[in-house]
């Protein structure tokens, strides 16, 4: 048998406003607007904690909602709040959470952000 690995995918929904900088003034995203985001975050590990978790789903949900739900993303992000950058921020926030909990056997494999019915961005480890 090969090496056993575990994977979880947590979906988190949040609502937030934003506007994009660096786009033409007549671009619709240059004006303040909002989205109902759907985030899928994938974590992998070669072991489980004493409760049988990679990490509790609620920790992931709280991490994202506490920073990004019902805010203006321009106020809480250091990057232009594109879907790609939102995914990157969530990956970095989750990685920091794992380090702070000494969960060095757990890795964020991918974060996907669905911004609209037809728009999805993903950041992943290759």
Q: What amino acid positions are annotated as catalytic residues?
A: 29, 70, 115
Burial class (CB in 10 A: 0-12, 13-18, 19+), 55: buried
CA distance 27 to 67: 27
- Nearest 5°: phi and psi at 69? -85, 130
Of 7, 6, 9, 15, the C-alpha closest to 112 is 9
> Do the bridges between strand 119-124 and strand 6-18 make them parallel or antiparallel, or are there none, so unpaired?
unpaired
Give the Cβ contact number of residue 14 at 10 Å: 20
């Amino acid at each position: 048998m090969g090496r056993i690995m575990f994977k979880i995918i947590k979906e988190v929904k949040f609502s937030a406003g934003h506007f994009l900088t660096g786009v033409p003034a007549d671009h619709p995203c240059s004006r303040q607007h909002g989205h109902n985001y759907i985030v899928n975050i994938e974590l992998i590990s070669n072991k489980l904690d004493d409760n049988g978790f990679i990490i509790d789903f609620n920790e992931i949900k709280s991490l994202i909602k506490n920073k990004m739900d019902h805010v203006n993303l321009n106020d809480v992000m250091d990057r232009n709040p594109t879907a790609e950058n939102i995914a990157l921020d969530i990956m970095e926030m989750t990685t920091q959470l794992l380090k702070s909990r000494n969960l060095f056997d757990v890795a964020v494999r991918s974060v996907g952000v669905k911004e609209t019915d037809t728009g999805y961005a993903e950041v992943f480890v290759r």
